[in-house]
Structure 1
Amino acid sequence: MKILLLDKNHPLITDQLLAKNFILEEDFTSSYDEVCRKIKNYDGIIIRSRIPLDKNFLEQAKNLRFIARVGAGMENIDIPVAQNLGIQLINSPEGNRDSVAEHVVGMLLILMNRLFIASQEVKNGIWLREENRGDELLGKTVGLIGYGNMGKATAKRLSGFGCNVIFHDILPGLSDEYATQVSLDELKERAEVLSLHIPLTEETSYLIDKKFISEMKNGFYFVNTARGKNVETKSLVEAIKSGKVKGACLDVLEYEKSSFEKLETENEDLQFLLESDKVIVTPHIAGWTIQSKEKLAQVIVDKILAQFSDHFQSIH
């Protein structure tokens, strides 16, 4: 089985797959068109986000048996086409759920306690106490949208802070000791903190818009570690200015490139987010820790070996 690696990942992927007699080829620089021309020669691809695997690409991948995405989101892959072609889709949300959960809690603590602002002020010779009075997580009702790997890990952490965690998910029966499942209407009625843990699909594109925000009963803190295009930035900015959104923690932005390498758009709304003391922005790093790099890779290897064990067993 011949596998093409299109992005740099933890070396354990190559080490462990080579040990199982897979044939690996690395290509971290070829363009989309160049990869299209040779993709018919491979049985599998391991990717992050560098190249979109669209209909044109997949139809040229005549021998492709699987696509393994080192990460959670699969929006860079034309999933219906891949499924129709019988290509197995593999991802690894288990690998960075803990880093995402810690990032959510970290951003909330920094924002709600004005830690970054107060630190910068003191470093500049400004000593303000009353102006930097914080807001506690204890007792807050936190509403999560999406209760998969990321949502559950986040609920576990927040429950330890004495939060009342509720969530909405399209699948039923997911309540556990950390959070209670509710309807979307009930979440909008009760939540004081709102955090997104959903993929980017047609249904979730710009889910958080002017209408959604207006239906939230309480002023609330907003966290997005999911995808930038889950949120209509213009509406979020308006809500921050009006005070409906008390503050925002954004690890992802509507204006990112699809490869997540950088921002591709600059406008007044983005500038507001970057300048506001009510907003924390990080460069799509919520799932990006030393530990998650290794765990994401290990999950992918384990899943490939589980799916295609017939390959390496037949060799011996």
Structure 2
Amino acid sequence: MSKKCLIVDEMHESIQDLLSQIGIEPVYRPKASREEILDLISDFEGLLIRSKTTVDRELVDKAKKLEFIGRAGAGLDKIDVEYVESRDIEILNAPEGNRDALAEHAVAMLLNLLNNINRADREVRNWIWDREGNRGVELSDKTVGIIGYGHMGQAFVQRLRAFDCRVLVYDKYKKGFGTKNVEEVSLEKMFAKADVLSLHVPLTEETRGWIDAEFFGQFKKNIYLLNTARGEIIPTRDLLDLLDSGKLIGAALDVLEKEKFDQLSAEQKSLFENLFNRKNVVLSPHVGGWTFASFKRINEVLVGKIATHYRIDWNA
């Protein structure tokens, strides 16, 4: 088999050796510009991306030999899935590679939020010793509502079992997954019972802007929010209004509606400054799932799926 794969995003150094092991020639060009990718792609059967590169009609039409696209991660929002599949190009992703890292990060953010850890740390460093003001909330007393029960949602649920909290899960596209530890519920039941909402859905046209003020208004309780999915699912202005009203007690956000800070408008920057100044908001820079171990494991998952695509017997 003589196949070539173009790698256009930064990936763990193991990717080239792993591809070579299954007989695919890697061409590592993580610094390639959009124009360079368009010039190169016609010579390749494979393309590996992360989040820099958009795979749209323009790129696919130039990829005359392309047989597979690998996404080093879970989300496919940078890929025109319908058009790619119409060209009989297989799309491979690797949620199995970073689901554990994401789940651990999600638990860490939630515990941080419930126990005021960031705020307490800042105060102690400023010689403020306020025990009462930083009294925490126990997760075991709460009902955690989860939307999305794919690889990420399932890994998060597995970690929650250690805390003995009640877990409710809604997934529009999955049924019959309820167990003694996980209650499969409707949105209406989640609105009635949840104390915490954790999002584990992909960014699609259906989910973009879906979790807005109207959505949160249906919860019977004031709640905590955890978002390690995609920032565009929640409008920032609605998020601020909900924090102002108290409907959101607090939020832990690994993702933002717009993450390229150098491209923010004056209005967007003002909204984010408002968000960043809040003591009941915990933030991280889209690093859920982005550990040293997952960086390498994603490669192994992807190459394993490429090997399966070509019916190659291979184990990392």
Q: TM tier, shorter chain? A: over 0.9
Residues in 2 aligned to 1:122 and 1:139: alpha-carbon distance in whole angstroms: 27
Q: CA deviation at 1:275?
A: 0.7
The reply on whether 1:175 has 2:174 as its aligned counterpart is no
Offset from partner CA, 1:18-74 (integer Å, 9 cap, x none): 123211111112211221122110000111011111111111111100000010000
Structure 2 portions without partners, runs of 5+? none
Q: CA deviation at 1:263?
A: 5.9
Q: CA deviation at 1:268?
A: 2.6
Residues in 2 aligned to 1:135 and 1:20: alpha-carbon distance in whole angstroms: 51
- TM normalised by structure 2 equals 0.94
Output the aligned Cα RMSD.
1.5
Residues in 1 aligned to 2:40 and 2:18: alpha-carbon distance in whole angstroms: 24
Counterpart of 2:236? 233
Offset from partner CA, 1:223-243 (integer Å, 9 cap, x none): 100001011111111111111
- The one-letter amino acid of 2:285's match is P
Offset from partner CA, 1:130-149 (integer Å, 9 cap, x none): 11111111121000000001
What is the number of residues matched between the two proteins?
Answer: 308
Residues in 2 aligned to 1:268 and 1:11: alpha-carbon distance in whole angstroms: 39
Q: 1:290 to 1:96 in 2, by over 3 A?
A: same
The reply on whether 1:184 has 2:183 as its aligned counterpart is no
Q: 1:215 aligns with which of 215, 218, 222?
A: 218
Offset from partner CA, 1:262-309 (integer Å, 9 cap, x none): 563243321111110010111000011111112111111111111113
Residues in 2 aligned to 1:65 and 1:300: alpha-carbon distance in whole angstroms: 14
Counterpart of 2:8? 6
Listed as ranges, the matches of 1:100-115 within 5 Å are 100-115=102-117
Residues in 1 aligned to 2:304 and 2:55: alpha-carbon distance in whole angstroms: 23
Counterpart of 1:147? 149
Counterpart of 2:199? 196
Counterpart of 1:128? 130
Structure 1 portions without partners, runs of 5+? none
Q: 1:66 to 1:5 in 2, by over 3 A?
A: same
Q: 1:263 to 1:97 in 2, by over 3 A?
A: farther
Counterpart of 1:252? 255
Q: 1:178 to 1:45 in 2, by over 3 A?
A: farther
Q: Assess if the C-alpha contact under 8 Å between 2:118 and 2:282 holds in 1.
A: no
List, as ranges, runs of 4+ consecutive aligned residues in structure 1 with deviation greater than 6 Å.
none
Q: Assess if the C-alpha contact under 8 Å between 1:47 and 1:69 holds in 2.
A: yes
Residues in 1 aligned to 2:215 and 2:153: alpha-carbon distance in whole angstroms: 20
Residues in 1 aligned to 2:119 and 2:213: alpha-carbon distance in whole angstroms: 28
Counterpart of 2:301? 299
Residues in 1 aligned to 2:156 and 2:253: alpha-carbon distance in whole angstroms: 15
Q: Assess if the C-alpha contact under 8 Å between 1:46 and 1:70 holds in 2.
A: yes
- The one-letter amino acid of 1:96's match is N
Counterpart of 1:281? 283
Counterpart of 2:227? 224
